[in-house]
């Protein structure tokens, strides 16, 4: 009950409704840079189209803190407050929003969802969105490129997150095809991420974490284990680079939010959700943390340095000119 009350308090912080005001409810599964960047990208895209918070836009924000039951309560509160549209960021919150709003007249736009089909988000007349499916095979191939000595890769994941379960299955298949050994450790909530990571210490040559919201919310616990083992750590989220992984791949989540905002604008322009196909952001980036690499005595090969989108060096993160 405490978590539900907290979530409702969070989403109650909103500007009063006035005539002609658009009310949008944003629901996030956790608070971390990638998902926050998505939300900001949506708001900035709306702002460029003339929807300004405090003038003609009312924004409700709910953070489920990794708890699906809280995500349900947030969606129910959005319904009771009569939102015009829901933006659900991440798979669990999208599932919760569709459970409450599916089949209603209120559009639901999901974002940062790995596999909308596997998550049960497709087939609803009022639902559409943007997928952030990453290239897991390419990530594993990258690990073999940064060091030929990497043959055992450790993954910490939450099997209860549909997005993470899908990516872990893909990783198992890709690892088998690439001749890698994949060792996985389950973490059903953020409190056990550290223990899960520690169970892999000394057994793997590198760590890899996908877009698992539970693990990302406790990312430093995995980074600490990787650093103590002095092995590289690949994180599939560029917004997490400054938190200490050795390298990051994946999407620019602010751009992802802008893509999501463009979908919202299509709906506000009169299009129906069913007429807007689910899209996927295809462009991927590679960021190298030279500070983290130096701390474990690791050097990137020149081939990888030449591919980098950007680097973090001496605490400064900068995008490279390619």
pLDDT in tens, 241-261: 999 999 999 999 999 999 999
Per-residue pLDDT, 37: 95
CA atoms of 276 and 228, how far apart (whole Å): 48
pLDDT in tens, 112-165: 999 999 999 999 999 999 999 999 999 999 999 999 999 999 999 999 998 899
Interacting residues of 146 by C-beta distance below 8 A, sequence separation 6+: 232, 247, 300, 301, 304
CA atoms of 147 and 152, how far apart (whole Å): 12
DSSP string, 256-275: HHHHHHHHHHHHHTT--GGG
Q: Write the burial class of residue 76 (CB in 10 Å: 0-12 exposed, 13-18 middle, 19+ buried).
A: middle
Domains and CATH numbers, the chain: 2-132+252-280 (3.40.50.2300), 136-250+284-319 (3.40.50.2300)
pLDDT band at 321 (very low <50, low <70, confident <90, very high): confident
**pLDDT beyond 80 at 13:** no
Pinpoint the alpha helices (H) of 62-116.
68-80, 91-101
Helix or strand holding residue 24 (H, E): strand 22-28
Other C-beta atoms within 10 Å of 51: how many?
20
Residue 18: DSSP 8-state: -
Q: Write the burial class of residue 119 (CB in 10 Å: 0-12 exposed, 13-18 middle, 19+ buried).
A: buried
Question: What's the whole-model pTM score?
Answer: 0.82
Average pLDDT along the chain: 92
CA atoms of 213 and 35, how far apart (whole Å): 9
List % helix, strand, coil for the chain (3-state, nearest 5).
45, 20, 35
Of 26-35, 141-150, 219-228, 288-297, the one with minimum mean pLDDT is 26-35
Per-residue pLDDT, 8: 36
CA torsion 117→263→109→40, rounded to 10°? 120
CA angle centred on 83, ends 61 and 87, rounded to 5°: 50
Per-residue pLDDT, 283: 78
CA torsion 119→125→129→131, rounded to 10°? 30
Strand order across the 279-280 sheet: 57-63, 22-28, 85-89, 108-113, 127-131, 279-280
pLDDT in tens, 36-79: 999 999 999 999 999 999 999 999 999 999 899 999 999 999 99
Instruction: Please list, residue by residue across 131-150, b when 16 or more beta carbons sit within 10 angstroms of its beta carbon and e when fewer do.
Output: bbbbbbeebbebbbebbeeb
Our measurement of the distance from residue 243's CA atom to the centroid of its chain's CA atoms, rounded to an integer in Å, reads 15
**pLDDT beyond 90 at 6:** no
Q: How far is residue 58 from each of residues 12, 86, 201, 265, 314, measured CA to CA in Å?
A: 11, 12, 47, 15, 41
**pLDDT beyond 90 at 19:** no
Handedness of CA 176, 173, 198, 226 (dihedral sign): positive
Per-residue pLDDT, 32: 84
């Amino acid at each position: 009950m405490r978590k539900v009350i907290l979530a409702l308090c969070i989403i109650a912080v909103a500007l009063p409704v006035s005539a002609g005001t658009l009310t949008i409810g944003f629901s996030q599964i956790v608070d971390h840079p990638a998902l926050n960047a998505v939300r900001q990208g949506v708001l900035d895209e709306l702002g460029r189209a003339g929807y300004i918070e405090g003038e003609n836009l009312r924004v409700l924000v709910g953070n489920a803190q990794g708890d699906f039951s809280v995500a349900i309560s947030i969606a129910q509160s959005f319904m009771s407050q009569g939102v015009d549209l829901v933006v659900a960021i991440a798979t669990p919150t999208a599932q919760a929003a569709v459970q409450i709003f599916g089949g209603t007249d209120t559009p639901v736009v999901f974002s940062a969802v790995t596999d909308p089909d596997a998550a049960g988000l497709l087939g609803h007349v009022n639902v559409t969105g943007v997928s952030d499916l990453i290239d897991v095979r390419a990530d594993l191939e990258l690990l073999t490129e940064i060091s030929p000595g990497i043959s055992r890769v450790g993954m910490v994941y939450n099997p209860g997150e549909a997005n993470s379960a899908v990516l872990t299955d893909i990783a198992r298949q890709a690892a088998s095809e690439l001749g890698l050994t994949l060792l996985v450790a389950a973490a059903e909530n953020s409190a056990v991420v550290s223990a899960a990571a520690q169970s892999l210490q000394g057994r793997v040559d590198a760590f890899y974490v996908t877009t698992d919201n539970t693990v990302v919310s406790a990312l430093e616990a995995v980074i600490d284990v990787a650093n103590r083992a002095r092995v590289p750590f690949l994180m599939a989220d560029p917004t997490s680079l400054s938190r200490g992984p050795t390298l990051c791949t994946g999407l620019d989540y602010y751009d992802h939010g802008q893509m999501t905002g463009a979908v919202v604008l299509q709906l506000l322009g009169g299009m129906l959700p069913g007429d807007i196909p689910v899209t996927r952001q295809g462009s991927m980036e590679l960021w190298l943390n030279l500070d983290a690499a130096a701390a474990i005595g690791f050097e990137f090969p020149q081939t990888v340095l030449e591919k980098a989108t950007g680097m973090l060096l001496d605490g400064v993160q900068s995008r490279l000119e390619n």
